[in-house]
Chain A
C-alpha cells in the first residue's frame, strides 16, 4: 500500500492551499517561470562574460610567455626547449622570470641563467631588465641567486 493513501497524506491535504503538495504544477504559473528564466539568462550571461574574459586574459598571458621564451633564446643564444617561465603570481604584475641552462643538459641540471622580463611585447620580444644565475639543481629562490645584474642588482635581489 502506498503512503499516498495514508493519514500523513490526508493531513497534508489539510494544509492551506498555498502550502499543499501537488502532483502537477497548476496551469498559470507562467510568472514564476518567466522570473526563473530571466534569472537563468542573467546568470548565463555572467558566466559567458566571465569565460570570455578568462580566455582573453589567458590569451594575453600566453602571448607574453611566448615573447618571454623568444627573448630568453635570443638573449642567451641557446635554442633550448626546456626553459621555465615564472609569472609574478604574488602581485600580478607582468614582470616574468625565465630560467634555463647555461650549457646543454637536462632541465635544471646545469648552472642556470635567469632573466627578468618587463614591459610590453614588441616585435615578439620583451625588455630584459636584468637577471641572475642559479647553481645546478636549485629552484629560483632568492637565497640561491648570485651574479645579479641590472634592476635586480639595484634592488639587492642577490644575497651573494
Chain B
C-alpha cells in the first residue's frame, strides 16, 4: 500500500478519534441527566415506582413531578443509550473523567430517595427485630413487631417472611437498627455507597492485574444503568456481596488463596449466591490454602451464627429453598411459560430449571478443570443462576457484571449486557400501552 493511501485511511480514523471524546462526554452527561431526573421526580415521594419512605430527600422536592412509568422508562432508555455509547467509546474517556462521572452518579443517587424497592426497609426491620425487640429475625418476620415504625414501610409481600440474608449481613445491620428509621435508612445508603466504591476499586485492581484497561472496566460496572438506578438506588445488600466477591478475586490474583476463600465465605454469609465462586476457585487453584481458608472461615461463621441466632441462623439452605419457590413476572422462566401458552411457572418447571442449572455448573466446572478462565466460569454460573431463577429482580443480573468486565471470555460480557437489555425491554409495557 502506498504512503498516500495509508494517509487517506488514517485521516478518517483520526477524525473518528477526535469525535470520540466529545461523544463519550455526551453519553456520560446523558446518564447523569437521566439518573438526576429519576432522583428529582422520585424525591416527591410515594408513587408506583417509589416505595413509601420517611421523607429523606425533601429538600429536592419542588423541582420535578411525581415519578410515573413514562418519565422513568424514558430516563431508563436514555441512561441505557448513554451507557451503550460509553461501552463503545470507553477508550476515549480519561481516568479523571471516569472517576468524576462515577462520583457524580453515586452522589446523585445517595442524596435522593430509595428507588424501586422496599428491600432496604426489610433490612432495617430485621435489624430492629433483633436489637430493639429482642427477637430472632430467622424465626420472626416483620409482622412480629407491627408497632415498629419501620413496619409500615416493609413491602406487603415480605411482612410475614423471615430473613433469608446471611448471618454476617444480619450482624452488620444490627447497629443500624438502633438509629431509628431515618438514621438507619441513611446508614444503609452509606453502606451501599461504600460497598459500591469498594467493588469499583477492586474491579480496577483486578482489571490491571489482567492487563485490561481499568478505566473501561470501572466505567462498565459503575455507570451501568441497572447498577446505578436499581442497585445503588435501592441500597441493596447485593453491593456488599459483590464487594466481597471482588475482594476474593483480587486476593486470588495476588496469590493469597486462604484470605480469598475467606472473602467468598464472608460474601456468602451476606448473601448465599456468591458461594457459587468457591467451586471454580478450588478447581482452578487446587490449593490447600484455599480449602483451609474456606473451611476456617465457614467454621467461624457457623459458630458465630449459631451462637447468636441458633440453628435457624445457620440453616441458610432452608431460606434459599423457600425463596426459590417465589415467582416474579420479570423472570425469564415466566416469560418462556407465557411463550408456550402456559399461565405461569409450575412445580415441574422449578425442577427442570434446577436441573438445567446443575448441568450448566457441571459443564463449567469441567471446562475450568481443563484450563478455562475460572473468573469467566464463575461469572457464567452467576448469570445462569439469575436467568434460571423464577424470582428475578434487576439487581440479580448485576452479580456477574464485575466478573464479566475482567474475564478472558468476551462472550460473558456480551451475554450479561444482553440479559440486562432484555430485562429493560421487558419493563417497557407501561410506556407502549399506559393504563389510563
Question: Footprint of B on A, CB under 8 Å?
Answer: 2-4, 6, 8-9, 12, 21-26, 36-37, 40, 44, 46-55, 57-60, 62-63, 65-66, 69-70, 89, 92
Contact string against A for B residues 326-360, beta-carbon threshold 8 Å, 1 for contact and 0 otherwise? 00000010111011000100000000000000000
Q: In the complex, given contacts A3-B288, A25-B371, what are 18 additional A-B residue pairs having Cβ atoms less than 8 angstroms apart?
A: A4-B287, A9-B286, A21-B371, A22-B371, A23-B371, A44-B418, A47-B336, A47-B387, A48-B422, A50-B339, A51-B335, A53-B335, A53-B339, A54-B334, A55-B432, A59-B432, A69-B435, A70-B436
Q: State whether B343 touches A47 (Cβ < 8 A).
A: no
When A and B form their complex, which 3 residue pairs have the shortest distance between CB atoms, in order from nearest? A22-B371, A3-B288, A58-B429
Q: State whether A62 touches B433 (Cβ < 8 A).
A: yes
Tell me how far the C-beta of A41 lies from the nearest C-beta in chain B, rounded to whole angstroms.
10
Question: Footprint of A on B, CB under 8 Å?
Answer: 283, 286-289, 332, 334-336, 338-339, 343, 369-372, 387, 411, 415, 418-419, 422, 425-426, 428-430, 432-436
Tell me the complex Cα distance, A52–B336, Å: 11
Tell me the complex Cα distance, A8–B332, Å: 42
Tell me how far the C-beta of B357 lies from the nearest C-beta in chain A, rounded to whole angstroms.
13
Which residues from B are CB-within-8-Å of A62?
Answer: 429-430, 432-435
Tell me how far the C-beta of A120 lies from the nearest C-beta in chain B, rounded to whole angstroms.
15
Tell me how far the C-beta of B286 lies from the nearest C-beta in chain A, rounded to whole angstroms.
6
Which residues from A are CB-within-8-Å of B336?
Answer: 46-47, 50
Q: Given A2-B287, A4-B287, A66-B435, are A49 and B430 also a contact pair (CB < 8 Å)?
A: no
Q: State whether A3 touches B419 (Cβ < 8 A).
A: no
Which residues from B are CB-within-8-Å of A44?
Answer: 415, 418
Q: Given A3-B288, A65-B435, are A51 and B370 also a contact pair (CB < 8 Å)?
A: no
Q: State whether B288 touches A6 (Cβ < 8 A).
A: yes
Q: State whether A3 touches B289 (Cβ < 8 A).
A: yes
Q: Given A4-B286, A6-B288, A58-B433, are A51 and B338 also a contact pair (CB < 8 Å)?
A: no
Tell me the complex Cα distance, A46–B336, Å: 8
Q: State whether B436 touches A69 (Cβ < 8 A).
A: yes
Q: State whether B433 touches A59 (Cβ < 8 A).
A: yes
Which residues from B are CB-within-8-Å of A4?
Answer: 286-287
Q: State whether A92 touches B343 (Cβ < 8 A).
A: yes
> Which residue of the partner chain A has the closest CB to B290?
A3
Q: State whether B338 touches A54 (Cβ < 8 A).
A: yes
Tell me the complex Cα distance, A2–B436, Å: 66
Q: State whether A47 touches B419 (Cβ < 8 A).
A: yes
Tell me how far the C-beta of B338 lies from the nearest C-beta in chain A, rounded to whole angstroms.
5
Tell me how far the C-beta of A152 lies from the nearest C-beta in chain B, rounded to whole angstroms.
24
> Which residue of the partner chain A has the closest CB to B332?
A47
Interface centre among B415, B425, B436, by most A CB within 10 Å?
B436
Tell me the complex Cα distance, A129–B48, Å: 31
Tell me how far the C-beta of B88 lies from the nearest C-beta in chain A, rounded to whole angstroms.
20
Q: State whether A3 touches B287 (Cβ < 8 A).
A: yes
Q: State whether A51 touches B411 (Cβ < 8 A).
A: no
Which residues from A are CB-within-8-Å of B432?
Answer: 55, 59, 62
15 pairs from A and B in contact (CB 8 Å cutoff) = A6-B288, A8-B286, A21-B283, A21-B370, A24-B371, A25-B372, A47-B332, A47-B336, A49-B339, A50-B336, A51-B335, A53-B339, A55-B429, A62-B429, A69-B436
Which residues from B are CB-within-8-Å of A6?
Answer: 288
Which residues from B are CB-within-8-Å of A48?
Answer: 422
> Which residue of the partner chain A has the closest CB to B255?
A2
Q: State whether B433 touches A63 (Cβ < 8 A).
A: yes
